Amino acid sequence: MDENEVIKQIIETIRKDIVSDKKFIMSILAKIELTEDNIPSKLILSLMNKLNAQGQVRMPVSNKPKDFAGTKASKPISVGDGSIESKIVSDLLDGNNVYLMGKAGTGKTYLAETIAEYVMGQPVFMVNCSQWTSPIEIRGGQTIKGYEEGQLIKAWAEGGILILDELPKLDPNTAGLLNAALAKTGSNPVYDEKGDIIESTVPYITNGRGDKIYKGQDAKDKDLRFRFCVIATGNTDMINVGNKYGGNQRQDYSLVDRFAGSFYVINNDPIKEMQLTYPYVFNLCNAMRKYLESKDALQSISLRTMLNFNRTFEQEMLYKIESPFADEIFNNSGEKIAPKTIEDSVNSFLNMLEKNMRDDLDNDQEFRSAKSERAKTQAEDDFRSHFMKKYHLNPRNGDSLTEKEITELDK
């Protein structure tokens, strides 16, 4: 460790000790008259937070009821006939390794997790792949805490589902460790005439200690014993690196081959996006997306960006109508202040573009009309009914809607 690092660590330790000593802080604060001029407001907030002080400066409050703030689909996703989801589920049940390929923020990880958690009903294991992902995380190995089992081995042994998020970012040599297991995802043992498993034919792989691990040997539910399956996600086809995303590596074809036939391209899905966002936000984002795509720009509007804009727009509207669901933000004098607006979000996005592109977009007819005063006024008028349709809650008073009101809305 170099000298600077040692000094940094000492200072950090002292800082932690001081901050955790409430009496010490109290004695300092007693001598100082706190005013906005002599102490930064951020420090006041953080000290008061540490001391659990109450009453003076109010901290932000979120009033969102659980359902409203939900981050995940509360219901299992519907697996429609012929849908991508239904094909993925068939693949997983058949023992085919699934690969979801698509641009950033299109919902690949969400889809993999939702299918794993809500549809398959198996234990889920996840590896967030990068060039730094170590073989230990995959196959297991010695760490300072002793031997730790890898995610691949756990999923294999417990009849689980393994999610390899951002697989193309894995170092190709590390990725090679997956090959043995991924070749045997669909392999089952041989049964004798009585229908019993011939144990010597149960497939196995070896872990980081060299132990043989038999498929499903630790499965709690014996019906899941041979259900080990794999979903991987990534921005590339694993063979080409592409120029839009950093960190992806060219993978050996032996790995790519293990997903052949079960590659799914996850594109932007305007129907899904329209369901998840307010029309004003969708139109605005869609106009920006069309423009950026026409210029083959590096920046793009993903579902993630749309949802970000959507949350901001929703809060802006809730604040306007003084809804109990509005997040409460206070300034240092304890007064409630307005939240960020959708205009702030759009401007922040535009700032990422080169100046000529920004100017060009500002003159784009569709974009101008999507963000016009008229469109915004319309959005404000429609907000209440859209909110009620989405959450079945009245944004003005926070009440749940009655069955009758819900039926009326759906008409």
Ligand X SMILES: Nc1ncnc2c1ncn2[C@@H]1O[C@H](COP(=O)(O)OP(=O)(O)OP(=O)(O)O)[C@@H](O)[C@H]1O
Q: Which stretch binds ligand X (CB under 6 A): 98-106, 131-139, 185-193, 321-329?
A: 98-106
Nearest distance, CB of residue 332 and ligand X, angstroms: 32
Closer residue to ligand X in complex, CB, 226/264: 264
The span from the CA of 143 to the CA of 140, in Å, is: 9
Q: Which stretch binds Mg ion (CB under 5 A): 42-50, 66-74, 107-115, 125-133?
A: 107-115
Closer residue to Mg ion in complex, CB, 86/109: 109
Which amino acid type is present at position 266? I
Q: Which residue is nearest to Mg ion (CB)?
A: 109
Q: Sort strands 124-128 and 161-165 into parallel, antiparallel or unpaired.
A: parallel
The span from the CA of 204 to the CA of 157, in Å, is: 9
Closer residue to ligand X in complex, CB, 156/278: 278
395 forms part of the interface with ligand X (CB under 6 A): no
Helix 355-362 × helix 279-294 angle, to 10°:
130
- Residue 339 binds what, of Mg ion, ligand X, none (CB under 5 to 8 Å, by partner type)? none
Nearest distance, CB of residue 272 and ligand X, angstroms: 6
The span from the CA of 85 to the CA of 114, in Å, is: 10
Q: Which stretch binds ligand X (CB under 6 A): 97-105, 222-230, 278-286, 375-383?
A: 97-105
Closer residue to ligand X in complex, CB, 151/277: 277
Q: Write the interaction track for ligand X spanning residues 258-287; mark x where CB under 6 A is met and - where it is not.
A: --------------x---x-----------
Q: How many CB atoms lie within 10 A of CB 20?
A: 10
114 forms part of the interface with Mg ion (CB under 5 A): no
133 forms part of the interface with ligand X (CB under 6 A): no
Nearest distance, CB of residue 306 and Mg ion, angstroms: 15
The span from the CA of 242 to the CA of 245, in Å, is: 7
- Of 63, 86, 109, 114, the one binding Mg ion by CB under 5 A: 109
79 forms part of the interface with ligand X (CB under 6 A): no
Nearest distance, CB of residue 168 and ligand X, angstroms: 11
* Tally of helices (H runs) and strands (E runs) in the chain: 19, 11
The span from the CA of 324 to the CA of 343, in Å, is: 23
The span from the CA of 263 to the CA of 259, in Å, is: 6
Nearest distance, CB of residue 102 and ligand X, angstroms: 6
Spell out the residues 6+ positions from residue 166 whose beta carbon is closer than 8 angstroms to its own. 128, 129, 130, 233, 234, 235, 247
Q: What is the largest CA-CA distance in the chain?
A: 87
The span from the CA of 327 to the CA of 342, in Å, is: 15
Token pair, residue 157, equals 């042994």
DSSP 178: G
107 forms part of the interface with ligand X (CB under 6 A): yes
Q: Write the interaction track for ligand X spanning residues 18-57; mark x where CB under 6 A is met and - where it is not.
A: ----------------------------------------
Instruction: Give the alpha-carbon dihedral of 145, 146, 150, 153, to 10 degrees.
Output: -140
The residues that touch ligand X, with contacts defined as CB under 6 A, are 73, 102, 104-110, 233, 235, 272, 276, 303-304, 307
The residues that touch Mg ion, with contacts defined as CB under 5 A, are 109
